[in-house]
Structure 1
Amino acid sequence: MNEVNRNVLLEEITKAVFEELQKQQLITINDWKNKYVPISVSARHIHLEQEHVDILFGKGYQLTKYRDISQPGQYACNETVTIKGPRGMIENVRVLYPIRKQTQVEVAESDARRLGIHPPVRESGDLKGSAPITVIGPKGVVNLEEGCIIADRHIHMTPEDAKRFGVKNGQKVSVEISGPKGGIMHNVTIRVKDTYALDMHIDVDDANAFGLKGNEFGKIIP
C-alpha cells in the first residue's frame, strides 16, 4: 500500500471510530485530536550504510523500492538479507531506505532468542555497546561487532503535533490500548521532527501481546 492510500485508509478508520465513540458519548473531538495516535507494527528489518550495501549486494549497487512506509521519504526495499547469531539465522530480513551512517539491525525479543543474542532496548541510532550480529547478502558477508537492537516503543510526530498533544521530544509517555487484549504500554518515547508523520511504532512482540495488527489507535497518557 502506498503512502497516499495508507493515509486515506487511516482517515476513514479514524472517522468511523470517532463517530462511533461520539455516538456513545464516550469521547469528544478534542479528546480524539489531542490524545489518539495511529499505531504501526514494525517487523524485523535492517538499515544499511553504503559500505555494507556494496559488500552485501555488490560495488555500486543501488537499493530498489518495494513500498512506502509510514514516514515520508522512507521505504522498504526489494532487497533482503539473512541475519545470523550463535544459535540460528533468520532469512528474508527487509532492507529499509534511506542509507544510514551506521548499519542497524532491529529485531524483536523473540527473534533475539531464536538467534541466541542479547540486544538492548534502544532508540534508533544508539548503537554503542549493542549486540553483535552477522549479516549475509547475495554477494558478501558483514560481521557487525555492534549494531543489533530491540527498538524502543516510540511515536513520530511534528512540532505541531507535539504542541497539540502537550509533549516534547525525548519524553516518555504511556499509551492506552483498547480491545480484548488491551492494556497500557509504558516507556513510549516521543520523537519530534518537522519531517515526521504522526505514527506510533511497536514491534511484533508488542503487537501480539496487545492483539494489534497495525490499523488501530492508542491514547497518549503523558
Structure 2
Amino acid sequence: MKTVPVGVSARHIHLSPAHIEILFGQGFELTHFKDLSQPGQFAAQETVTIVGPKGKFEKVRILGPSRSNTQIEISRTDAFSLGINPPVRESGYIDETPGLLVIGPEGEVDLEKGVIVAARHIHFHTSDADKWGIQDKQLLKVKVHGERPLIFEEVVARVSVQYALDMHIDTDEGNAAGVKTGDLAELIDEFL
C-alpha cells in the first residue's frame, strides 16, 4: 500500500518582504514558531487580520520564509464568511484572484490579488515519486480513512528534491472526511 501522511491546512498567509515591512515595520524579520512538514518552511509567531467585504479573520498565521508575492490561502467556508469568491488554484498562481485588506500592528496592505482556495496536493520528494512512478503535476486519486472515508480526485502531484512526502488538504476537506493532521491516506493506483 502506498501511504502518505495528511496535513490539514488552516487559513494562512505568505508575505512578500515588502509587505512584511509595511505590516510590521522596517527591517522586521518573522519569528520562528514551529517547523512545518516541508523542509525550511515554518509557522511564524506573528499573525495578521484579513478583512473582506462581509467579514474578517483575526490572528491569521503567517508562514515563512517570505515569498516573492503575498498569497492568502483560505477554505471555501472562509471565503463565504469574507464575502469573496477565490478560485481553486495551485500555490503561486494568483493572477485573476481577489484581494483582501491585510492589517498588521504597524500598517496595512490592500491586496489587489492573491487569495486562493489551495488545490489539494501531495508534496513528493523526487525519490518517492520515482519509486512510485509519479510525475510532477500528475493528477492522482487518494483515499482517506477517517470516520467518513472518501476518495479525493484531482490531487496534484508536486515533485521536488526540496519536498518531503505530505498531502495537503484544507479544513473543509479534512472535516468532510473526519481526518486530521498526521493521519494516513492511501494512493490509489488508478490515476486520472
TM-score by length of 2: 0.96
Matches within 5 A, 1:73-222: 73-221=40-188, 222=191
Measured on the aligned residues, the alpha-carbon RMSD in Å equals: 0.8
State the AA in 2 paired with 1:211. G
Long gaps (5+) in structure 2: none
SS in 1 for 2:43: strand
TM-score by length of 1: 0.84
Query: Percent sequence identity over matched residues?
Result: 50
**Could you say which structure has the larger radius of gyration?**
1
Query: 1:210, 1:180 → 2: CA distance?
Result: 7
Deviation at 1:132, TM superposition (A): 1.4
Could you say which structure has the greater relative contact order, defined with CA pairs below 8 angstroms and 6 or more residues apart? Answer: 2
> Contact (CA 8 Å) 2:23, 2:105: kept in 1 or not?
yes
State the AA in 1 paired with 2:152. M
Query: 1:180, 1:93 → 2: CA distance?
Result: 28
Query: 1:54, 1:206 → 2: CA distance?
Result: 34
The structure carrying a bigger helix percent of its residues is 1
Is 2:48 aligned against 1:61?
no
Query: 1:187, 1:120 → 2: CA distance?
Result: 15
Long gaps (5+) in structure 1: 1-30
**Corresponding residue pairs, total:** 189
Query: 1:164, 1:220 → 2: CA distance?
Result: 13
Query: 1:42, 1:94 → 2: CA distance?
Result: 11
Query: 2:169, 2:146 → 1: CA distance?
Result: 17
Query: 1:177, 1:56 → 2: CA distance?
Result: 39
Which stretches of structure 1, 4 residues or more, deviate above 2 A after TM superposition?
none
Deviation at 1:178, TM superposition (A): 1.7
Query: 2:8, 2:145 → 1: CA distance?
Result: 16
